[in-house]
A and B are shown apart, each in its own frame.
Chain A
Amino acid sequence: MALLEFEGVNKYFGETHVLKDIDLEVEEQEVAVVIGPSGSGKSTLLRCTNRLEEIQSGEIRLDDVPLTDPDADINELRQRIGMVFQSFNLFPHKTALENVALAPKRVKNVPEEEAHEDARELLERVGLGAQTRSYPSELSGGQQQRVAIARALAMDPDVMLFDEVTSALDPELVGEVLEVMRDLAEEGMTMMVVTHEMGFAREVADTVTLMADGRIVERTAPEQFFDQPTTERGQQFLSKLL
Chain B
Amino acid sequence: MLRRTILVMLVAAMVIGLVASCAPKATPTPTPKPAEPTKAPPTKPPEPGKTYKVALVISLLGDRSFLDSAARGIGWAQERLANVETKIIENADVGEQQLAARAMAEAGYDLIITVGFGSADWTSEIATEYPDTHFALVDATLDVPNGTGLIFKEHDGSFTVGMAAAMLTKTGKVGFVGGMDVPLLRRFQEGYIQGVKYADPNVEVVSGWVGAWGDPTKGKELALTQYEEGADIIYAAAGKSGEGVLAASAEKGLFSMGVDSDQCYIAPGNVICSMMKMVDVSVFDAIKSLSEGTLEAGNRVYGLENDAVGLCYLYDIDTEFLDNGPADMAAKMTNEVIPAVKAAVQRIKAGEMCVKDHMEIYPCDNPAQPGGMGM
A and B are partners in one complex rather than unrelated chains: no
Which residues of B pack against A, CB within 8 Å?
A: none
Could you list which residues of chain A lie within 8 angstroms of chain B, going by C-beta atoms?
Answer: none
